Amino acid sequence: MELFDLIVIGGGPAGYLAGERAGHAGLKTAVIEKRSLGGVCLNEGCIPSKAFLNSAKIYEYAIGGEKYGVTTKGASIDHKKVVERKNGVVKQLVSGVAATLKANGATVIKGEAKILGRDETGFLVEVNGEKLTAKKLLVASGSVPVIPPIPGVKDGLESGFVMTNREILDMTDVPERLVVIGGGVIGLEMASYFNSVGSRVTVIEMLDKIAGPTDGEISNILLKNYKSKGVDFKLGCKVTMIDSGNVIFEENGKPASVPADKVLISIGRRAFTDGLGLEAIGVLTERGAIVTDHNMRTNIPGVYASGDVNGKSMLAHTAYRESEVALNHILLKRDNMRYHAVPSVIYTNPEVACVGETEESAREKGFDFKTATISMKYSGRYLAEVEKGDGIVKLVMDKKFSRLIGVHMIGSYASEIIYGAAMMIEAEMKIDDIKEIIFPHPTVCELIREALFLL
């Protein structure tokens, strides 16, 4: 029975990063992955969706070029080629992960891991009928889509009429009518892409706003943008049934329906712990997610959990950082996980990027706060590059300590700018100190500095 210092279950962002760091630190490490290295993010999440959205953006630029003095004739988008290109990008990244793990000395085992228990040598894990032991365990088994118990969903998934993120990112045809259930991040990114490539898209969202906890003003601007592009939104509507060719929902207490050629279910994800054998060693879960502390420790000494499986912040960059924190704890280095400055991005066109408290959450938490909002039209670069844009930058300031606690943006480059705001919040910089930073001109990011003077 082979003995490892660390066994990592799952080869997604949380698992492969942990494997790389542990191998690099000289720990004898195994990463066990049952499907494909890279997990959801590389194979059926972050990367495929961004490859899609980039093609849509190029196409939109091409067909909308005239207002910038550029005329293109016969611009078209070939969805099959977009999928092919996406597959190439995924392949390259997945093999990059395999190569990096190998270069760091980690062993990759393809198979499904099951925790059997523990003995005097460590934790017992079975994979492909073989037993391994490890002094430490890191569970990084990720998440899966929530599948609601709505009549017709199960049959629809079997027939291919209903899809999750996995199937939609491999679908090579463009459906004439796509119905998206759930107006959160996945729903909006996919609505954005399929709207650009010609589907008639309807988004059915249970709440009266899209984009979940996103700042209300920004969520409204995004809604307005997509309505004007032709996406139909049914807000405050609950889906009650799916039959072949129709999605039936409740609107103002009355039944309504919308025809569909394909349906995407994107109503959230749940931590995946099925069949892992957590109960064999007594790992505590709460509502399906593994309970962790600020060092990513579970209730069982020597067992850690990072990434989506702990349900704290289902984002790849959070997963990376959590794995680093777990590894540092294993290596007896001081480190703590903090969640107050985790940026998030919705890669629609326009992009949405946020970090920290929104006006709504600051109010709920009882902060004494102030906000400042500035239109992106105050940026020379934005005005030079975007016709009729309605982007904004919004700051939330804690009055007591004169510090930024939230930055929210919709518009060009938001995804690339937001890390700067995350740094300011993480470093607890005072407003007056940020004012002394020189931002490049002309850029969109200099609006953060500009907005500080409105506070």
Q: Which residues are catalytic?
A: 441
Cβ nearer to ligand NAI, comparing 137 with 185? 185
* Binding residue (CB under 6 A) for ligand NAI from 187, 311, 391, 411: 187
Give yes or no for residue 207 binding ligand NAI (CB under 6 A): yes
For residue 175, the partner it binds in ligand FAD, ligand NAI, none, with Cβ less than 5 to 8 A by kind, is none
Give yes or no for residue 420 binding ligand NAI (CB under 6 A): no
CA distance 117 to 115: 6
Q: Please list the residues that pair with 139 across neighbouring strands.
A: 9, 305
Question: Do residues 450 and 371 touch, judged by C-beta distance below 8 A?
Answer: no
CA angle 279, 324, 292 (to 5 degrees): 35
Give yes or no for residue 344 binding ligand NAI (CB under 6 A): yes
**Angstrom distances, CA of residue 228 to CA of 192, 218, 221, 222:** 12, 15, 11, 10
* Binding residue (CB under 6 A) for ligand FAD from 27, 101, 137, 140: 140
Is residue 449 helix, strand or coil?
helix
* Binding residue (CB under 6 A) for ligand FAD from 9, 108, 303, 342: 9
What phi, psi does 370 have (nearest 5°)?
Answer: -140, 150
Give yes or no for residue 175 binding ligand FAD (CB under 6 A): no
CA distance 245 to 156: 10
| Per-residue mark of binding to ligand FAD, 36-55 (x: CB under 6 A) | ---xxx---xx--x------
Give yes or no for residue 152 binding ligand FAD (CB under 6 A): no
The answer, yes or no, to whether the previous bond of 350 is cis (omega within 30 of 0) is yes
Give yes or no for residue 434 binding ligand NAI (CB under 6 A): no
Residue 48 CB, shortest distance to ligand NAI, in Å, is 11
Cβ nearer to ligand NAI, comparing 19 with 311? 311
Give yes or no for residue 342 binding ligand NAI (CB under 6 A): no
Question: Do residues 357 and 437 touch, judged by C-beta distance below 8 A?
Answer: no
Give yes or no for residue 12 binding ligand FAD (CB under 6 A): yes
* Binding residue (CB under 6 A) for ligand NAI from 185, 289, 353, 434: 185
Max distance between CA atoms of the chain, in angstroms, equals 73
Cβ nearer to ligand NAI, comparing 7 with 315? 315
Amino acid residing at 377: K
Amino acid residing at 303: V
Residue 213 CB, shortest distance to ligand NAI, in Å, is 9
Q: Where are the alpha helices (DSSP H) in 67-184?
A: 79-103, 153-159, 165-168
Residue 316 CB, shortest distance to ligand NAI, in Å, is 7
What distance lies between CA 383 and its chain's CA centroid?
29
Residue 352 CB, shortest distance to ligand NAI, in Å, is 9
Which residue shows structure tokens 């959590």?
322
For residue 142, the partner it binds in ligand NAI, ligand FAD, none, with Cβ less than 5 to 8 A by kind, is ligand FAD
Binding residues for ligand FAD, rule CB under 6 A, total 35
Q: What is the 3-state secondary structure (H, E, C) of 278-342?
A: HHHCCCCEECCEECCCCCCECCCCCEEECHHHHCCCCCHHHHHHHHHHHHHHHCCCCCCCCCCCC
For residue 182, the partner it binds in ligand NAI, ligand FAD, none, with Cβ less than 5 to 8 A by kind, is ligand NAI
Give yes or no for residue 32 binding ligand FAD (CB under 6 A): yes
CA angle 90, 46, 84 (to 5 degrees): 35
For residue 13, the partner it binds in ligand NAI, ligand FAD, none, with Cβ less than 5 to 8 A by kind, is ligand FAD
Residue 306 CB, shortest distance to ligand FAD, in Å, is 7
Cβ-count burial 378-399 (b if 16+ within 10 Å, e if not): ebebbeeebeebbbbbbbbbbe
* Binding residue (CB under 6 A) for ligand FAD from 57, 177, 229, 317: 317
Judged by the rule CB under 6 A, the positions of this chain that interact with ligand NAI are 148, 181-187, 189, 204-207, 212, 238-239, 266-269, 314-315, 344-347
Judged by the rule CB under 6 A, the positions of this chain that interact with ligand FAD are 9-15, 32-35, 39-41, 45-46, 49, 112-113, 140-143, 165, 186, 272, 276, 307-309, 314-317, 319
